[in-house]
Amino acid sequence: MRLVLLGPPGTGKGTQGKMLEKELKIPHLSTGDILRETVKKSTFLAKKMAKYLKRGELVPDETVAEIIKKRLKKNVVSGFILDGFPRNISQAEILDNFLKEKGICLDRVIYLEAKEKILIKRLKDRRICFNCQAVFHLKSSPPQRDLICDYCNGRLTQRDDDKEETIKRRFHEYQEKTKSLIDYYRKKKILVKISADGDKQTVLKRILREVKYG
């Protein structure tokens, strides 16, 4: 199964990606997670990319495409769940060509959808573990101990790009660049629209129903 998770910020692509990885036993590849790990390093490339992430802007296509191709090489046969890639038409074409060279294609693109008002609320309350990237929400799924990760005891922090100003820019980037992928994949007849409104188990069930029996 080769899946892409698509949708505006805050729809739970990362959360669902991790749960789907366990359910379907295929790796979840998140460009956001990979980039956040990369910018922790003190290389020239890391510093350059950190600026884009902090501003909530897209990192240049060539950089992300290289990262994702490297990871995909190991996983194309067994399957994968892509989260955060592609994010514009040019990246979608890079992905198509890469898969075509291997003689394969995407099975489904899961488009997660919810009202912007709900998503902004979710993003503001989101905290992630600095160490293992586990995701918590202060109201809907708080950690057992204040700002301590339940899984690895790491420190929970707010992502720089989950601050109000940057959230607005990320939505703008989504509207400008990513939203056009909905039509792109609809035309290919692999787009599945799923409501991301509800708790994470409910959304997971909706996705599994589609990918297993749809």
Tell whether residue 10 is a contact of ligand AMP (CB under 6 A): no
Looking only at residues 169 through 208 of this chain, which bind ligand AMP when binding is defined by CB under 6 A?
Answer: 170
Which are the contacts of 45, defined by CB distance < 8 A and separation ≥ 6?
38, 63
Q: Select from 7, 8, 9, 12 the one that contacts ligand AMP (CB under 6 A).
A: 9
Tell whether residue 64 is a contact of ligand AMP (CB under 6 A): yes
Tell whether residue 59 is a contact of ligand AMP (CB under 6 A): yes
Q: Is 126 designated active site? A: yes
Gap between the Cα atoms of 109 and 181, Å rounded: 10
Gap between the Cα atoms of 187 and 128, Å rounded: 36
Which are the contacts of 94, defined by CB distance < 8 A and separation ≥ 6?
61, 65, 69, 86
Contact yes or no for 120/196 (Cβ under 8 A): no
Tell whether residue 94 is a contact of ligand AMP (CB under 6 A): no
Which are the contacts of 48, defined by CB distance < 8 A and separation ≥ 6?
none
Residue type, 173: E
Tell whether residue 91 is a contact of ligand AMP (CB under 6 A): yes
Catalytic one among 13, 18, 108, 127? 13
Which lies closer to ligand AMP via its Cβ, residue 12 or residue 32? Answer: 32
Q: Is 209 designated active site? A: no
> Judged by CB under 6 A, which stretch of 28-36, 71-79, 147-155, 180-188 contacts ligand AMP?
28-36
Burial class of residue 158, CB neighbours in 10 A (0-12, 13-18, 19+) = middle
Q: Select from 80, 85, 171, 185 the one that contacts ligand AMP (CB under 6 A).
A: 85
**Short-list 213, 208, 202, CA closest to 24:** 208
Tell whether residue 28 is a contact of ligand AMP (CB under 6 A): no
Q: Is 155 designated active site? A: no
Catalytic residues: 13, 87, 126, 159, 170
Residues that bind ligand AMP (CB under 6 A): 9, 31-32, 35, 52-53, 56-59, 64, 84-85, 87, 91, 161, 170
